[in-house]
Amino acid sequence: MLELRDVHKTYPGEPPVESVRGVDLVVEKGDMLALRGSSGSGKSTLLHIMAALDRPTSGSVQIDGQYVEKLSDRELAGLRAFHVGVVFQQFFLLEALTALDNVASGLLYRGVPTKQRREAAAEALHRVGLSHRLNHKVTKMSGGERQRTAVARALVGRPAIVFADEPTGNLDSARGEEILNLFRELNEDGTTLVIVTHEERVALACKQRIEVSDGLVVSRSEQAASP
């Protein structure tokens, strides 16, 4: 599903920042992987590379059978639009739009006609428990509802893999628990998930846990997800 081989990412500067310094990683179909590490350890950089939002400086990245390093920018945009969904800590929703239009925007780059986009968006919002909020503007929604909407937008195109960067970071613990339960359900239904978190309980809910420190994987553990 996803395979990283000796991936490096260096940001130019004086001095250059080596954010990721040789990471090997495999995510199998149906996996639910937690990526942990302290602030500045390279988690977001790694997640951006895994989600094809950014290219590595060197190394190989294979996403759903396609090698990122062999793709043009245009092909990479296609890979993102059809195979990957991403959820961010800050939600990144369009405030002036309704939940439905935000989620439908997740299909814009696929050239899906408006009517079908809206139908798929309503279905994705139903999946995250927001059928009663379709026409609510983002400004009228709580933090938990906003994050559910962002999850629906990530899911609407039925991507092979969904990434989340600190998805519970801006939520209180009850709302965080709801989002975590939603991710668990999605994983049980077959969605492959990679979640960046520094919350213990989020990591413990995952099937595979990887810890990064200073741009390197320092530990891996795999066990059945706790109840």
Please report, as ranges, the residues that interact with ligand ADP according to CB under 6 A: 11, 17, 19, 37, 39-45
Is position 197 an interface residue for Mg ion (rule: CB under 5 A)? no
Read off φ and ψ for residue 11, nearest 5 degrees: -90, 130
Partner in contact with 127, chosen from Mg ion, ligand ADP, none, beta carbon below 5 to 8 Å by kind: none
Strand 208-213 versus strand 32-36 pairing type: parallel
Q: Which is nearer to Mg ion, 91 or 130 (CB)?
A: 91
DSSP state of 225: P
Minimum distance, C-beta of residue 165 to ligand ADP, in the bound complex (Å): 7
Is position 19 an interface residue for Mg ion (rule: CB under 5 A)? no
Minimum distance, C-beta of residue 53 to Mg ion, in the bound complex (Å): 13
**How far apart are alpha carbons 162 and 199 in whole angstroms?**
19
Residues 122, 100 contacting (CB under 8 angstroms): yes
Minimum distance, C-beta of residue 196 to ligand ADP, in the bound complex (Å): 7
Residues 76, 83 contacting (CB under 8 angstroms): no
Beta pairing partners, 4: 25, 61
Interface with Mg ion in residues 29-48 (CB under 5 A): 43-44
Q: Hey, what are 68's tokens?
A: 């990122």
Minimum distance, C-beta of residue 19 to ligand ADP, in the bound complex (Å): 3
Read off φ and ψ for residue 199, nearest 5 degrees: -90, 125
Partner in contact with 192, chosen from ligand ADP, Mg ion, none, beta carbon below 5 to 8 Å by kind: none
Interface with Mg ion in residues 79-108 (CB under 5 A): none
Residue 212, CA distances (Å) to 6, 47, 186 in order: 14, 12, 25
Q: Which is nearer to Mg ion, 52 or 128 (CB)?
A: 52
Partner in contact with 144, chosen from Mg ion, ligand ADP, none, beta carbon below 5 to 8 Å by kind: none
Partner in contact with 167, chosen from Mg ion, ligand ADP, none, beta carbon below 5 to 8 Å by kind: none
Nearest of 190, 191, 189, 211 to residue 200 by alpha carbon: 211
> How many residues contact Mg ion, by CB under 5 A?
2
Residues that bind Mg ion (CB under 5 A): 43-44
